[in-house]
Structures are given as C-alpha cells and as structure tokens.
A and B are shown apart, each in its own frame.
Chain A
Amino acid sequence: MSLQHYLVISAILFSLGIFAVLTRKNAISILMGIELILNSCNLNFAAFSRFVTPPENIDGQIIAIFGIVLAAAEAAVFLAIILAIYREFGSIRPDEVDTLKG
C-alpha cells in the first residue's frame, strides 16, 4: 500500500467527521465526528512518518500518539459540558442550545 491510499482514507475520514459535525442533531454524534477528524489527522501523521521522513525519525508517530491523548482529554471535557447542557436545557440537541445569538 502506498502513501496515497492512506491519505485518501484519512481524507475520507476527515470528510465524514466534518459531515457528522455539521449534520448530526445530537451532541454525542458531533463528538464522534470530532473524534473522526482527529483520527484522520493521526493517520496522516503516522503515514507521513512512515513514508516521507527517514525511518530513524519517528516524530510523526509521536505526534499521532499525543493526538490520541489530547483527543481523549477533549472527549472527557466535552462529555462533562454536555452533561451541564443537559442539566440546564434538558436536551442535547445542538440546535436547541441557541439562547445566545445576534
């Protein structure tokens, strides 16, 4: 498998993520979309470090690992906030959370 395959896959993942974020009517699925985006990035880094950079250089993979970590942290915060939202609004539909506008 060549670099292109990986890039195409990650691109598809990214697009799916964006699509999810834009269309889902549920905060949780938005979170999933975000996770997709982040993972597509990680995939990219890993692929590049495999194909582009010299083998002894593993920066890309390190970044990918950090990416996973931060994604986890983000998910945690996100879920906490969704809880708060649910407490305040009794719903986690993003389009119902729109008191602040204009």
Chain B
Amino acid sequence: MVIPLISIILLCPLAAFAIFALLGLAKRSFPRQDLLSTVAMLAALVCSFLLLREVVPNPEPHTVDWISLGKITFAMGFYLDSVTVIMLIVVTLVSSLVHIFSIGYMHGDPRYPRFFAYLSLFSFSMLFLVVSDNLLGIYIGWELVGLCSYLLIGFWFEKDSAANACKKAFLTTRVGDVGMFIGMMMLFAKFKTLSLYDGTENGIFTLVEGLSGTGDIIWLSIAGILIFCGAVGKSAQVPLHTWLPDAMEGPTPVSALIHAATMVAAGVYLTARMFPILTDTSSLVIAYIGGITALVAATIAIVRFDIKRVLAYSTVSQLGYMMLAIGAGSYVAGLFHLTTHAFFKALLFLGSGSVIHAFHAMHAHHDEEHADGEEHEHDDHSLVHEHGSEIPPDQDMRNMGGLRRKMPWTFGTMLVATLSISGVPFLFSGFWSKDAILGGVLGHAMVLHSPHYYVLFGIALLAAGITAFYMFRLIFMTFFGEPRNQEMHDMAHESPWVMVVPLLVLAFLSLPVVNTIWFNKDYVKPPPQHHIQAPQHAQVVPDTKTGDANFGMAFFWISEAQAAEEEGGKNTEKADDAYRIHKLAHNIAMVLSIVVAGLGILLSWLFYHRRRFSAESVATKFSPVYNLFWNKYYFDEFYDGVLVALTVWKSRLFAQFDGSIVDGTVNGVGTVTRQIFAAFIGFFDNRVVDGIVNRVAEVTWAAGGRIRRIQTGAIQTYLFVVLGGIVLIILIFRAL
C-alpha cells in the first residue's frame, strides 16, 4: 500500500507538468493548467495523509536497483519514516494552498499556465528529494528544485533584476552543491555505496556504526561538513545566504512556497537526514553556522523597508535556528521548528502577497517592468549587474500603514503568524518549536559543559528577541497608524476568497496543532548518533522532548515515565541525569525566551506604534551599527572587493545594495577570463598551442623556399651538386 501511495504522490504533479510540456511542443496548451496542477497537488496531499497511518516510526526501505555494475549497485528507493511522512504532508499542504492562492494572485499574467506547470514540477522534485533513501536520489531532487527555483525566480525574466537574481540563485546554490558532491565522493570512496539505509548491512548508516570507537573520524567530519555545504547553499546560511533576498524578484507565491516553506528547508531536512554521520566536530560547525546566520539575518531584517525582504531575512534567520538545533543534537526540535515555520512563514508571505496584490501589484508591476526594460537596453553583457536598488513601490512598507481596516482577513491571519514567529507563549506553535530549540541548545551545553553551546544559546536568545522586534515592526508599519500613501491606500482592497482561504487554513496551522505529531514519541524517533569520539566523553542522548509537560493542555502531554523508559536502553543513571538536565534546561529556556520575546514586542510597540522613540534618531545615534545592518554586513561588497577589485568596492560603497558571492566570483572569473584569461587563451591557445603547429608549418615552407633557391636553373650548378654529392658521400663513408 505504501509504494502505490508514494507513486501517486510523485506522479500527480509530474504528470501535470508533463502534459504542459508535451502540449507545449505542439504549440498548444491545456485549457485550465491551473486547475490541473491544483487538483494534482490536492490528490498528492490526500495520499500523504493516507500514508500517515501506513508508516511505522522505524524506517522501512523500499528500494529497486537503479544502476548495477559488477559488485557496485546504486539503489533508488524510498526511505519512509515518520519524518519523511511529516515532510510529505508539509510540502503537499503548503504547495496546494499556494496553488490555490496563485489562482487569484497570478490571474491575468501572460504566462499564467506556465507558472502552474513550474509549480507542479517543483512540487514533484521536492517530494522526490524528501522520499529518496540515498544521497544520489537526494542530490537529484536537490538539483531539480534548484532548477525550478531558477525558473520561478526568473519567471518575469524581462526584468533584468529577475534575470540576474535567478542566475545568482542557481550559481550560489551550485557552489554549495559541489561541496556536497565532494562529500558524497568521500563517502562513496569509503563505503562503496550511497544509499543511507537499505535494510541490509551496507547502508551508510549501518556502516558508520562500524566506525564507532575507531579513532578514524577526521575524514568523516570533513565529509559531514562538505555535505552540509549543500545545505548552506540551499538553506541560505552564511556565507552563501545572499541569494535568498534577491530571490524575492520572483512572484510572491513562489517566495512563499520555495523560499520560505519547502526548498530552503530542504537543507535542514538533509542535515537532519545525515544526522547519524555527524561527528561532534561537524555538529559544532553546523551549530555555529546556524547561530551566526540566525543573528546576522535578524539584525539585517530590522532595517529593511521592503516587506518581502524583511520576510526573506527573517526566513534566513529562522533556518539558522533549525541548523543550530540540529547542530546541538536536538534533531526533533529542529524538524519541529521546520514544520511550524513552514506554515507561519508561508502565511506571512502569502499575506504580504495579498497586500501587494491589494496595491494592484500585477499591473503596477508590469508597467514598471516595461519601463526599466527600456532604460538599460539589455546592457547585461558582463556577469555583473547594476542592481535596481529602488524598492518596488507596492512592496515598500513606507507606502503602507493603516491597512487593518481595509483588509481585515489579511491582517488577522498575518497577526497570528507574527505572534507565532515571535514566540508568544502557549497559544502559538512557534513558541513551542523555538523554545524546544533554545532548551535543546542549553541542555546540550550543560551536558557537554561546552562553552561553545552556551555562547550559541546566548546568540539564539538574542536573535529570538530581535525576531519579535522586527516582526512587529512589520505589522505596525503595515497595518497600524495612518496611511502614508493615500492614493495607493485608496486603491487597496481585500483580496478575493481564493486568496483568503489559504490564509485562514495556514492561520489555523500556526496554532499548536502540529505538536500532536511531534510530541508523540511513539511516532517520531530520532536516529541514534554514534559518537565516534566516544569513549572520550559521555554518550549524549539526542533530545526528544520539546518542553515540559507541566503546562496544562492535554495534547502537549508526555509523561516523564515514557521519557525515562525511552533512555532505558542505555545505562539508566547517565540517561536519567541527562534527562534531568534537559528538563531543567527547558524550564530555564522557556522563561528566558518569553521574557526576550516580550521585550522585543514591547520595544517595537514603543518605536513604531506609540512612536515614543523615533527609529531615525536611534539610527543616527548608532549610525555605524545602523550602516552595518543597512549594508548587510558588507558581505557582497566584501566578496566583490576580494574577487573583482578593491577600487570597485570603494565606488560602490553605499550605492551598492546587492551583488553577490557568485556574481562576484563569476564576474571576477568572467572579467579575469575575458581580460587576462582571454588574453592568456588568445595567447596560449592561438600562439603557443596553435602557434607551435603553425611555426612548424612555416619552417617547413621556408625550407621549401630554400631548396627552390638551390634549383638555380643553371646546369653547371646542378653538376657541381652532383660532384659535391659524390665527394661528400665518399668522404663521410670513408670516415665510417
């Protein structure tokens, strides 16, 4: 029953795309591509819910040999444990809702059908990534989602900014993927297989157990980190994060689906999947990357005015959280936050989408796009591009305000999401997941007595506060106060029901309903992590608990008995105090997080609603800090500076809001190639390589000419040659 279900889940969206593609070849198109894709998605959704019952917590391999050569076989198959199914549900659910939303949002776009076809293709790739049981399969899905994101970001490719953004996204993630591929090479060289767990002895997870206790782990740590590189690229972690904000050039539903809920979360999912092979070293690296990302992105988000960018940076920061959780060994907490975040962040994006739509997004959009089309008459001959630093008016929060009366539904739902992300206690899912992470990190720190994780806990806490601050900043600037731009305000109106309904559904999901799954320990079992350094220090029990049960509400309940009995497997007394520590940690974390969140909200209320202090004055007071945030820590300038030239960096200093690593790299390489390298090639390829040949040819020719000159035409010279020849021969061979 499992296989057919999965097949349906995978095939429905694929079919939806295939129909579009094939008809496209015949210069036709299916009358209602939108309905087709949506229905396909809903079917997949239903099937994933059916799977919920089918699957037992322990993974169960369903593999077929994909390629077999001699001893080595590459199996393709499904690795179905509870986590997989939950991911399936999340993806299909969000995807369906986005489909529905897009019916309203994308209405009237010239490439309307194609949009849905792309969405279907994306959903397929994402689902494939989620279910495959081997690195090769994951990598395939991995690259395919990358492709879809490329296509969808560049959906309005007439805009140069969009064209650049999509290329940037693809290349940036590709850099990470190469790292991932090298990691795969290392694992393959060691284990002669790429399947994670195929039921038999020779899955990577089983084989990695064999390494327990053996000192030989450096390569494993490196491999783990390299594979994590892929996640860094896809989940926009520092330092490869800069593509995600640019990705907002794509239509808003895309941002909601790909760049908030699913694809970017794939990185987290991958890291979680590879949990068993993560050594302490790699874990620490991951934790740090995550923590830093969380903080950096949050701080940048404070000063943005483009509503979508704010959300983008918030996404980056939240992803950082998840990475941090996994790095700290809180496997469940990380994935839990992934799910909750998927819902409320999707909601936020769709909400912002509805706001933008309210400002006649599309039309405004199109005029504007044509306008700037004429401006830079396709000047993009280098890989560098002059980024449109101006924020599109319909996304600029400075044009908004007081919308809550205009569009109550949007306002209400977005408020829920905001409360959820800011971690307002108990009633909202975000609180539980975020708290689980904080507790997990703190607990980890206390168990290991490692200063690193204490620091990380601090960072996470700070980030939490900032998150609350900037999220409410967004809410206040958008929905409260007086309209700043009257005529735009007058145009604004509540979105049609196709767009509102998904908002409502997501709002409901932002309440702690998902907890039921995650708190059911029979359902979700974290995989064991084999600490190869053991017996250096204590075996660490992966943290399954997501907050203590003492806070009312039955469906949050896990009895401590269960918890204790779960650790029972390992030597009890160590497990017990591990558990005790974690319990303590969670209590501390909870209190702190509530305080911090409260502070954040309060501050932003004072700043942006009561206007007790003015943001501007603060900005001027702490201008260096402010500039730092405003310029996103000069990441791009830094890369460009390194890779292109320091002089460029100076000129761009404040004007440049964008540019990126890979644009930097490729641009660097591009310029270098065309100037130095092309000169080099021009020289090397034509002079040296080609030249040698030509030189030989010329010499041959010259020789020909010489010999001609001997042929004077005077008979007596010929006779001289004859005589000379004879004499020469005799002399030479006489000597011999």
In this complex, the member of B708, B713, B720, B723 whose beta carbon has the largest number of chain A beta carbons within 10 angstroms is: B713
The answer to whether A22 touches B723 (Cβ under 8 A) is: yes
The answer to whether A98 touches B720 (Cβ under 8 A) is: no
Q: B714 on the interface (CB 8 Å rule)?
A: yes
Task: A21 to B721: give the CA distance in the assembly, Å.
Answer: 13
Closest chain B residue, CB of each to CB of A99: B713
| Chain A residues whose C-beta falls within 8 Å of the C-beta of B708 in the assembled complex | 102
| Chain A residues whose C-beta falls within 8 Å of the C-beta of B709 in the assembled complex | 102
- Given contacts A22-B720, A22-B723, whether A94 and B714 have CB atoms under 8 Å apart is yes
Closest chain B residue, CB of each to CB of A18: B723
CB of A101, distance to nearest CB on chain B (Å): 3
Q: A73 on the interface (CB 8 Å rule)?
A: no
The answer to whether A21 touches B711 (Cβ under 8 A) is: no
Q: A12-23 interface mask toward B, CB cutoff 8 Å, 1 = contact, 0 = none?
A: 000000100111
Q: B712 on the interface (CB 8 Å rule)?
A: yes
CB of B375, distance to nearest CB on chain A (Å): 66
Task: A102 to B720: give the CA distance in the assembly, Å.
Answer: 17
| Chain B residues whose C-beta falls within 8 Å of the C-beta of A94 in the assembled complex | 714-716
Q: B719 on the interface (CB 8 Å rule)?
A: yes
| Chain A residues whose C-beta falls within 8 Å of the C-beta of B713 in the assembled complex | 98-102
Q: A74 on the interface (CB 8 Å rule)?
A: no
CB of B723, distance to nearest CB on chain A (Å): 6
Q: A73-101 interface mask toward B, CB cutoff 8 Å, 1 = contact, 0 = none?
A: 00000000000000000000011011111
Task: A90 to B712: give the CA distance in the assembly, Å.
Answer: 21
Contact partner of B711 (CB less than 8 A), chosen from A18, A23, A102, is A102
Interface residue count for A (Cβ, 8 Å)? 12
Q: Which residues of chain B from 184 to 202 have any CB-CB distance to chain A below 8 Å in the complex?
A: none
In this complex, the member of A23, A97, A98 whose beta carbon has the largest number of chain B beta carbons within 10 angstroms is: A98
Interface residue count for B (Cβ, 8 Å)? 11
The answer to whether B719 touches A21 (Cβ under 8 A) is: yes
Closest chain B residue, CB of each to CB of A25: B716
Interface of B is mostly: helix
Closest chain A residue, CB of each to CB of B708: A102
CB of B285, distance to nearest CB on chain A (Å): 77
The answer to whether B715 touches A97 (Cβ under 8 A) is: yes
CB of B478, distance to nearest CB on chain A (Å): 91
In this complex, the member of B708, B716, B723 whose beta carbon has the largest number of chain A beta carbons within 10 angstroms is: B716
CB of B718, distance to nearest CB on chain A (Å): 10
CB of B714, distance to nearest CB on chain A (Å): 5
The answer to whether B723 touches A98 (Cβ under 8 A) is: no
| Chain B residues whose C-beta falls within 8 Å of the C-beta of A100 in the assembled complex | 713
CB of A38, distance to nearest CB on chain B (Å): 15
| Chain A residues whose C-beta falls within 8 Å of the C-beta of B723 in the assembled complex | 18, 22
Q: Which residues of chain A from 20 to 67 have any CB-CB distance to chain B below 8 Å in the complex?
A: 21-23
| Chain A residues whose C-beta falls within 8 Å of the C-beta of B711 in the assembled complex | 101-102
Q: B697-731 interface mask toward A, CB cutoff 8 Å, 1 = contact, 0 = none?
A: 00000000000110111111001100100000000
Closest chain B residue, CB of each to CB of A97: B715
Task: A81 to B298: give the CA distance in the assembly, Å.
Answer: 107
CB of B719, distance to nearest CB on chain A (Å): 6
The answer to whether B712 touches A22 (Cβ under 8 A) is: no
| Chain B residues whose C-beta falls within 8 Å of the C-beta of A99 in the assembled complex | 713
Task: A21 to B720: give the CA distance in the assembly, Å.
Answer: 9
Task: A21 to B722: give the CA distance in the assembly, Å.
Answer: 12
The answer to whether A98 touches B719 (Cβ under 8 A) is: no
| Chain B residues whose C-beta falls within 8 Å of the C-beta of A23 in the assembled complex | 716
Task: A56 to B10: give the CA distance in the assembly, Å.
Answer: 113
CB of B708, distance to nearest CB on chain A (Å): 5
Closest chain A residue, CB of each to CB of B712: A101
CB of B213, distance to nearest CB on chain A (Å): 87
Task: A95 to B716: give the CA distance in the assembly, Å.
Answer: 7
Task: A22 to B721: give the CA distance in the assembly, Å.
Answer: 10
Task: A18 to B714: give the CA distance in the assembly, Å.
Answer: 16
Task: A100 to B713: give the CA distance in the assembly, Å.
Answer: 6
Q: B651-691 interface mask toward A, CB cutoff 8 Å, 1 = contact, 0 = none?
A: 00000000000000000000000000000000000000000
| Chain B residues whose C-beta falls within 8 Å of the C-beta of A22 in the assembled complex | 716, 719-720, 723
Task: A101 to B713: give the CA distance in the assembly, Å.
Answer: 4
| Chain B residues whose C-beta falls within 8 Å of the C-beta of A18 in the assembled complex | 723
Closest chain B residue, CB of each to CB of A95: B714
CB of A24, distance to nearest CB on chain B (Å): 9
CB of B563, distance to nearest CB on chain A (Å): 103
Closest chain A residue, CB of each to CB of B707: A102
Task: A22 to B717: give the CA distance in the assembly, Å.
Answer: 8
Task: A98 to B712: give the CA distance in the assembly, Å.
Answer: 8
Task: A98 to B708: give the CA distance in the assembly, Å.
Answer: 14
| Chain B residues whose C-beta falls within 8 Å of the C-beta of A98 in the assembled complex | 712-715
| Chain B residues whose C-beta falls within 8 Å of the C-beta of A101 in the assembled complex | 711-714
Task: A78 to B708: give the CA distance in the assembly, Å.
Answer: 28
Task: A94 to B719: give the CA distance in the assembly, Å.
Answer: 12
| Chain A residues whose C-beta falls within 8 Å of the C-beta of B719 in the assembled complex | 21-22
Closest chain B residue, CB of each to CB of A33: B719
Closest chain B residue, CB of each to CB of A98: B713
Task: A101 to B718: give the CA distance in the assembly, Å.
Answer: 11
Task: A70 to B153: give the CA distance in the assembly, Å.
Answer: 98
CB of B474, distance to nearest CB on chain A (Å): 89
CB of B715, distance to nearest CB on chain A (Å): 5
CB of A68, distance to nearest CB on chain B (Å): 23
Task: A4 to B234: give the CA distance in the assembly, Å.
Answer: 103
Task: A11 to B207: give the CA distance in the assembly, Å.
Answer: 96
Q: B428-439 interface mask toward A, CB cutoff 8 Å, 1 = contact, 0 = none?
A: 000000000000
Q: B343-374 interface mask toward A, CB cutoff 8 Å, 1 = contact, 0 = none?
A: 00000000000000000000000000000000
Known A-B contacts: A95-B715, A95-B716, A102-B708. Give 6 more (CB < 8 A). Answer: A23-B716, A97-B715, A98-B715, A99-B713, A100-B713, A101-B711
10 contacts between A and B (CB under 8 A): A21-B716, A21-B719, A94-B714, A98-B714, A98-B715, A99-B713, A101-B714, A102-B709, A102-B711, A102-B713
The 7 closest A-B pairs by CB, nearest first: A101-B713, A98-B713, A102-B708, A95-B714, A98-B714, A94-B715, A101-B711
